[in-house]
Amino acid sequence: MLRAYIFYRLVKNTLLTAFILSLILLTLQLTRLSNVLFGIPFKDFMGFLVVWNAYYTYFFIPEGVILSTFFLMKHFKDKKLLHVFYSFRISDFRIFLYCSIPFLTFFLISALLSNTLLEEKVAFTRKNMLFKLQEKFFSEVPAGTFVSFGAVVLHAEKREGNTLKEAFFKFGDITVLSEYLKYKGNGVFEFRRGTVITEEENYFVVKFNEYTLNLKQFQKKKLREKRLKESKVVNYVNVATLPLFFFLSFTVALKFCHGGLSYYAFASLFIVVHQLIIFVVKLML
């Protein structure tokens, strides 16, 4: 009975804590994206939410284990249940073993998902969502104003249907001045009669009758592969820290915490240390 109770409490509180932390982080992210959310299709937005919450709930499992372990030990001490356990010859070691069962469950699941749930996949989903918004944005650029989206700055004096006239276009080190500009979709811009100015080391000016610029050609495939590998390393470290913080949380909560504030202080300390470890690993990659 005690084993089942501990399993239920730790699993429920760990998942709930991890999910709440993922929602807090999501709220901060949505605050940054608030100016573009209304233009994103509902289906794509929901897909982003699912991927985000799946990854960050997984990522915050160590925090969930830390807090749920401290809360469980605090509950046992506040209710004087430890003395009851001792009277039935249930030792600290046996309680530790009971707590280890849900911990091992989380550890094994986290290890199995370490190559699947990746931070870079969340970033890719966000970029894909913004790319679809970009399609709508560039197709409806108003005339007479300077507008920017990501690394692109665009201005046109007039608009006729899908064609912009007397256009100014800047992307990174490339500036294009053209009489006509049409957005073809999928990141492709088609210019007619104008000038291309590049700014790599020296300025180069080239006149053209027709010029096509594909923004996707500037995407770096090797960089994405590198980030995928880095995401896997972060997951491995995250999983590897689980046994340490579970053991420390159980031991400290059982032996050294006697007042309400001490539980929160030690739990907060362990969470900060865990995030510092992840931060340092990311800096080293």
Are 146 and 159 within 8 A, CB to CB? no
- How far is 244 from 88, CA to CA, in rounded Å? 29
**Among candidates 110, 90, 112, which has minimal Cα distance to 5?**
90
Are 164 and 192 within 8 A, CB to CB? no
Q: Picking from 53-67, 88-102, 150-164, which range would have the lowest pLDDT averaged per residue?
A: 150-164
Phi/psi at 88 (nearest 5 deg)?
-95, 15
Q: What is the pLDDT of residues 170-182, one digit of tens each?
A: 888 889 999 999 8
Average pLDDT of the residues in 19-24? 96
Joined together, the tokens standing for residue 118 give 């990746």
- How far is 250 from 235, CA to CA, in rounded Å? 23
C-alpha distances (whole Å) from 105 to each of 2, 204, 242, 247 are 17, 61, 11, 15
| pTM, to two decimals | 0.78
Q: Report which of residues 12 and 183 the model is more confident about.
A: 12
Are 43 and 51 within 8 A, CB to CB? no
For position 137, what pLDDT does the model report?
74
Joined together, the tokens standing for residue 232 give 């896997």
Domain ranges of the chain: 2-126+221-284, 142-218
Per-residue buried b or exposed e for 166-192, using 16+ beta carbons within 10 Å of the residue's own CB: ebbbbbeeebbbbebbbbeeebebbbe
